[in-house]
Each structure stands twice: as structure tokens, then as C-alpha cells.
Structure 1
Amino acid sequence: MGPWSGPWPDDPRFDPELLAGGDRRNVVDRYRYWRREAIVADLDTRRHDFHVAVENWQHDFNIGTVVRTANAFLAREVHIVGRRRWNRRGAMVTDRYQHIRYHPGIEDLLGYAAEAGLTLVGIDNLPGSVPLESVSLPRRSLLLFGQEGPGLSQPARRAASLVCSIAQYGSTRSINAGVASGIAMHAWIRQHAAPAAGPAGGAPAEAGSPAAPAVST
């Protein structure tokens, strides 16, 4: 979107710099020209009841994808267990709009889950796991993912109230952790969330919102 054409909206959610210079961010039309803080505040009124956690013991490059997907499905929070440093490139700047909480270890994550009333659900193709395709996920779930390759750590496996597997039909032993997170989050969405509405899958546009403003060329 280029610079705003016509009288500027009298609304504090709009960013004067974006109105003047244009908005080239990766956001749905509903949020064009909005301040970042205003976008986060609006998302906070609509976030879903599930959380996402990912282990980061070896600088997992999939975390950016997990964060981006959590933003797309409007997770309440993303929890990173282990190292605080991770490659943000895959997040495509969505980490600016998604709440992220860090935990030094599984024990700290468990304490948070208990206090928040969340059920820890591990996602990994382990012996004895329950097929994700047939399980009813708790509404207040904390979906936990391990790293690419080793999967869930032993402490994470012991801590999970439920471990779900994702059906695979080819020759590979595992799928990308970022892909697995998207499948699991969408499984929760199908069970608990209302269908998305509005342009580009966002919330319904409000009267006077900049869903399709006139843009100077």
C-alpha cells in the first residue's frame, strides 16, 4: 500500500509515518496503516485459548516458522524452552505481534502451565502416542514441540499429559518441526475456533477501517 490518498483518518490507531510513506508490512488489510501497538492490542482481544511451546536446546532454525504459524492461527502465547537466542528470519517479522515467553527448562514451563490451567500436549511420533487425527485436544492446550531430528526431550516426554502423533505415509521418518506445528495448531482450530471471516482471513473490517483505501500512484 502506498501513501494514504485523501483526508487522513482521525483515529489514534493509525500511524502518521505509515499514512505518509505507505505500508509495506506483512499484515492483513484490516491493519493497514495501524500502529504496531494498536495491532497487538486488537489481536489481544481475539486470541485463542491454546499456547505453543518449542524446545530450543540447539538453536533450532524452525522456531521462526513456529512463531509465524502461531501468529496466523492467533495463539495466546509462544513459549521457548532453553536458549533465548533463535533465528528470527523465518518469523517474517510476526514476532512483533506475537507474545513470546522464555523458560530456562521444562520445569519452569510446567509451573507456568499449572498456574494458567493449561494441559501440556506433546507432538511427536513416539511409541504409545495418540493419533492427532482422532484425538480431542483440550481447549486450554499448551502444544509442545521438540527440535528437528531428536524430537521431544526425555523430560518433555515425561511431563506431557498427552502425546499426539501425526500420520505419515511416505518414506521419511519425520517431518519438519515447523510443518508439524502448523498441522497441530490447525487441528486445534478445527475443533475449537469459529471460521475466519473478513478480508484475507482476518477479522471483519470495521466501519471506516482501511481495508481498501484509495492509494495514490
Structure 2
Amino acid sequence: MTAPERHEPEAERPEAERRELRPASEVGVGPWPGGPQAWPDDPRYDPELLATGDRRNVVDRYRYWRIEAIVADIDARRHPLHVAIENFAHDLNIGSVVRTANAFAVAGVHIVGRRRWNRRGAMVTDRYQHLHHHPDAPALLAWAAAEGIPVIGIDNVPGSRPLEHRALPERCVLLFGQESAGLSPEAIAGCSEVLHITQYGSTRSINVGAAAAVAMHAWILQHAGTAPLGGTSQAATGLA
């Protein structure tokens, strides 16, 4: 497998971008009550966050944790689902796909085509997600074949079948195409099957970020167990 891309620490991001990534209203928690003498004796906790507060968009169970500790905890229970998206035009939706993949703890997100992608929509969730790059669809398909993982395309092309009520393999790659253009011919040719999301209105297609969320959730409904304690607390309190 190609090596995961390095995540850019927040301190190294341009200040304007860091401000953009923060919500308009403060969320999270302030400094740990009681001062340094009351800090937990646990290597998972970040002293800087304990001292200044944790305003990140993370669920409550990860408050004050180091990034490396959060990734390690998710790694222990990641799902055997991979998500791939073709990137030919610096698609703004890739960030949204990464953010949803993080929410569902997928094994990896594969960027196919251009290495660079717009990270703003990821809302820094790319820090907690394993990212891989493949230069083109044949390279992704070759990797999947070597791993013994079927690739399932998601696109409303002729011959595709409805995603609804379709049994999805526990280990698989869900492959999405470029926004507006859809899956490339090379990608379609290499998929074990192509599924589409049934629509009822006038639009020809739905946003690829939305389609990825629907497809990932369809897999989750079939294969995922109960979410860890605290896994939904942010959504419940309006902090997601």
C-alpha cells in the first residue's frame, strides 16, 4: 500500500486558514479545572490542550487527547471499508468525503489522480484519517487486486444497479468519480460492480460528497456495530 501522506500540523498552517477552520462560536472545553496539579497522569493527554483548552471538532471522549492518541484509538477499531475518489480537477468535494470517512472510521481514503486536493472541506479531519495516493485508476485497481479487496463503483451510469437493499462486501473499496463527470471509463471497467443511489426528483445526479455519505452509511448499516461511548455526543450537543 502506498504510504499515508503526512498531515500538516495546525501550527504550520497559514493563520488565515486556521481561523477559517474554526467555528464562528467557540466550542469544546476550556483549560482542565484545577490547574496543572490536577492534570491526569495519562500519556494520551496533551499538556498544551490541558493548559489552554480543547476547541477542536472532536467527540467528548477525545477531549484533551493528543492527535497521535486519537488516531491510535481509532486504528484499533477501524472498519475494513476503503473509500476512493478520482481527483482530476482539484475537486472541492474531496474534503467532504474525507470528513465523512473519518466519521465512519473507514480504513483509508484513496485519492486517485492529482495528489493535491482542497482540504478545507475536511475541517482538519484529515489528521485522523489514513490517506493514500494512486496516480490513476489502474494503479488503485492493481492495489485493490493485490489486497484481495473488490472495488465497487458508485455512479448512475447505464447498467448500474440500485444501492438500496444491495448486500455490500465487508471488505471493499467504494469508488467515486469526479464531480459532474462521474467515474472514468478506466475506473468503471475495473469495478466488480457499479451501483447507483436511487433518485426521485429532476436532477441528473447528487453531489459526490453527499453520494459518498449515503454509500458509506449504507455500508455502516450492514456491517458496523455499536458506536463507542461518546461517539455521538458532539452531534447531540450541536458541536459537530
TM-score, normalised to structure 1, is 0.91
Q: Which residue identity is paired with 2:72?
A: A
What is aligned with 2:32?
4
Show CA shifts across 1:37-67 (max 9, x none). 0100111001001100000011111000000
**Displacement after TM superposition at 1:199 (Å):** 2.1
What is the distance in 2 between the residues matched to 1:150 and 1:200? 35
1:87 aligned residue? 118
Residue matched to 2:68: 37
Given candidates 158, 180, 190, the residue that maps to 1:149 is: 180
1:46 aligns with 2:77: yes
How far apart are the structure 2 equivalents of 1:174 and 1:71? Answer: 24
Within 1, Cα distance between the matches of 2:210 and 2:59? 22
The residue aligned with 2:58 is 27
The one of 33, 56, 60 aligned to 2:91: 60
Query: In the aligned structure 1, how far is the partner of 2:191 from the partner of 2:183?
Result: 10
The unaligned stretches of length 5 or more in structure 2 are 1-28, 235-240
Instruction: Report deviation, 1:195.
Output: 2.6
| Distance (Å, rounded) in 2 between the aligned partners of 1:34 and 1:117 | 35
Q: Structure 1 vs Structure 2: percent identity of aligned residues? A: 66
Q: Structure 1 stretches (4+) deviating beyond 6 angstroms?
A: none
Aligned to 1:163: 194
Aligned runs of 1:68-79 on 2, under 5 Å?
Answer: 68-79=99-110
Q: Deviations over 1:106-160 (max 9, x none)?
A: 1111121112221100000011111100210111010000011110000001010
Distance (Å, rounded) in 2 between the aligned partners of 1:111 and 1:201: 36
Q: Which has the higher contact order (CA 8 A, sep 6+)?
A: 1
Task: Trace 1:117-128 onto structure 2 (pairs within 5 A).
Answer: 117-128=148-159
Distance 1:199 1:8, change over 3 A: same
TM-score (norm 2): 0.83
Q: CA RMSD in A?
A: 1.2
Equivalent pair of 2:138/2:187 in contact (CA under 8 Å): no
Q: Distance in 1 between matches of 2:113 and 2:84?
A: 11
CA–CA separation in structure 2 for the residues paired with 1:44 and 1:16: 23
